[in-house]
Amino acid sequence: MTDYSYSQAEMTVETWRDLWKKLVVKYNDGYINDVKVNHGRSPKGVGYGDEYYKKAIEDKPDYYDAKWRKK
């Protein structure tokens, strides 16, 4: 019973990880990327308006700050 439970849990976690990878690849940074079209090299913008981008910058103002640069 323990082996069965363990194997089912492992399978469930792996399935969720696969789903996560597919979702991140397909819906990343405001684009929909269909990996079946042109090997995923033709993402299409989903049409977010300017208000969305303004709100995103307000929520995380340091997102584009290049902290790796030496001062």
Segment 39-42 long-range contacts (CB within 8 Å, at least 24 positions apart): none
Buried b (16+ CB within 10 A) or exposed e, 36-70: eeeeeeebeeeeeeeeeeeeeeeeeeeeeeeeeee
Backbone angles phi, psi at 41, to 5 degrees: -100, 15
Model-level pTM?
Answer: 0.50
Task: Report the run of H or E that residue 33 belongs to, with start and end.
Answer: none
pLDDT digits (tens, 9 = 90+) for 4-39: 999 999 999 999 999 998 888 888 777 888 878 887
Q: Where are the domains of the chain?
A: 2-59
